[in-house]
A = this chain, B = another copy of it.
Amino acid sequence: MTTGIRHDEMRKRNRALVIAAVRRAGQPSRTEIARLTGLSHSTISAIASDLIEEGIMREIGQGETAPARRGRPQVALGLDPKAATVACLHLSFNSLSAVLVDYCGRVIDTRTHRLSTLTLGRQALVDAAVSAVREIACGHEDFLRIAFAVQGITDAAGRQMLWSPITPHSDIGFGPELEAAFGVPVTVQNDCNMIAAALRWRNPERYRDNFVAILLSQGIGMGLMLNGQLFTGTHSSAGEFGHMIHKPDGALCRCGRRGCIEAYAGNYAIWRKAHGKSAMEKPIADIKAGEMDALAALARREDGLTRQAFSEAAEAIGFGIGNLFALIDPAPVAIVGQGTAAFDILEPEIRAALAQTAGGQHAEAVSFETWPHEVPFIQHGSAMTALTSLDWEVFGPGLRHGAGGRRPESGRVVA
């Protein structure tokens, strides 16, 4: 707790809570919302009528699942799709995609641009982002947020991209640049964190307060949910799982250091080993998915260098997860991305390595779930992150109860 609760703040929070309940439940009735939030029917009634009047929520009619029970039928409520739109950008190797989403979370439009991220200049990358937003948000004057997801390290404040394997340039301020161009708040976030956010929305039973999302692809990424919130460190987006040191002074990594997990488990590392190259050979830039599939097939078929390559990859991942679990405790793991195509080969050895670590005490109990395609998760996570920030920061506080807080400097109390 930081600061006292005033009267108007109670309303703001309860409003936001109602919005959040509707977003999560889909099309709940007022009674349902009362149950979900623990607030009284009268309060829900009052807040709902405010929200409807303000164009944030609307009545949907009888809802889909009309159980035809006795009594007055429930009126389903839903968020008003016209309340706002948000734009989600996703920058990855040679690709920039943009999605426009309405306030309900439905996709309005989507575009994908090819571009040569490795060779483009710093300003050209920013310009590409700006014109992608301009193109997709054109004609939608109600768009209120931009969520920018990028493969790489971002700062904790969500302002800029600090480093990325897809470009030689570092410290690119996508946040300020896009804000200057469009005048709406922008968050810059690591793509794996967005995957974690999406998992929580899609399957809150399994992915609730503590879980891990690992992206296996060219490189290795991670998103970490701790205590129910996305973990972002003090400076950067953290979660550089792929660059934990697996073997001191080991194989050469794309990042220039030696012995990183990625230097054993990234596509390029598996490819390098399978082709009998030295572990100190400079990683090659891009390997086609088909080529990796062929390697996996070969490893399944016969023993040899290729199988050994996958084996080393699995060992690195297993020890990495074990070390992670030693720190933060076993938790559900989602493995996402092209690398999951070979997960049948990897899993037994990942578990074997895991079992040798402190975090693997209950290795057999650790549960993996795999998803081959990361892009839908990244888009979904970005959209939901942007929309919930609207819920809490814009539509919860509302106009009447507006940000009119004078609330003088008010220090902090930490307990």
- Residues of A bordering B, CB below 8 Å: 1, 3-7, 10, 13-14, 16-17, 20-21, 23-24, 35-39, 43, 156, 200, 204, 208-210, 222, 224, 226-229, 231-236, 238-241, 243-248, 255, 257-258, 260, 315, 319, 322-324, 326-331, 353, 356-359, 388, 391-392, 407-415
Contact = CB atoms under 8 A, between A and B. Distances in A.
Given A210-B234, A358-B244, A359-B240, A415 B4 contact: no
A391 to B, nearest CB: 7
A184 B353 CA distance: 43
A257 B407 CA distance: 55
B358 A243 contact: yes
- Copies of this chain, complex-wide, total 2
Contacts of A235: 329-330
A18 to B, nearest CB: 8
Contacts of A315: 248
B37 A13 contact: no
A229 B60 CA distance: 41
A415 to B, nearest CB: 4
Contacts of A204: 414
B1 A331 contact: no
A407 B228 CA distance: 23
A109 B328 CA distance: 36
B244 A247 contact: no
Nearest to A230: B227
Closest 3 CB pairs of A and B: A233-B329, A38-B410, A243-B358
Nearest to A360: B257
Contact of A413 (B37, B222, B359, B409): B37
30 contacts: A1-B13, A3-B38, A4-B13, A4-B37, A4-B43, A5-B5, A20-B413, A20-B414, A23-B415, A24-B414, A37-B410, A38-B411, A200-B414, A208-B414, A210-B233, A222-B327, A226-B226, A226-B231, A227-B231, A233-B330, A238-B329, A245-B319, A245-B323, A245-B357, A247-B248, A248-B315, A255-B358, A257-B357, A324-B327, A388-B415
Contacts of A210: 233-234
Contacts of A413: 17, 20-21, 24, 36-37
A327 B239 contact: yes
A366 to B, nearest CB: 11
Which of the listed residues A239, A245, A414 has the most CB atoms from chain B within 10 Å of its own CB? A245
B224 A227 contact: no
Which of the listed residues A21, A210, A240, A359 has the most CB atoms from chain B within 10 Å of its own CB? A240
Contacts of A329: 156, 232-236, 238
A36 B411 contact: yes
Contacts of A5: 5, 10, 13-14
A243 B359 CA distance: 8
A327 B14 contact: no
A227 B35 CA distance: 30
Contact of A331 (B3, B228, B234, B260): B234
A208 B235 CA distance: 14
